[in-house]
Amino acid sequence: MLKRWLKIRKIPATNLDIQSQMYFLGWMLPGAISHMRSEFFRDYFMESFDMMHDQDYAIAVFPRLTFGSGQRYASKGCYIVQLAKGEQPELIKKSDWIIHLITEST
């Protein structure tokens, strides 16, 4: 679906991971914002993603967004990256996948 969308718009497929995430965001964000109307609160914004029924355009990274109780994020980890120098800078991976663990002290 993404490759076809890029081809129709004459956009070169240079980094499908990033392009697929931006494609997903481009479909989800307008719907979430219009659902908010004038209720600009973070939790309501996240709930609007969670409540969207039509997610046919979802990608493998986020096949269906759902949030558990108290969990208002689409990803529970990240990579540390650095932007390379040069005319066509690339991202340089500086770490493995990092997950912030919250521990309760007893």
Domain ranges of the chain: 2-99
* Mean pLDDT value of segment 61-76: 62
Q: Looking up tokens 């499908």, which residue turns up?
A: 16
The answer to whether the predicted template modeling score (pTM) of the entire model surpasses 0.75 is no
pLDDT tens track for 14-54: 988 888 888 878 887 888 888 788 888 877 777 777 666 55
pLDDT value, residue 56:
54
Contacts 24+ apart (CB under 8 A), 75-79: 76/100
Q: Looking up tokens 């493995």, which residue turns up?
A: 96
Is the confidence at residue 2, as pLDDT, over 70?
Answer: yes
Between residues 31 and 104, the one the model is more confident about:
31
pLDDT band at 98 (very low <50, low <70, confident <90, very high): confident
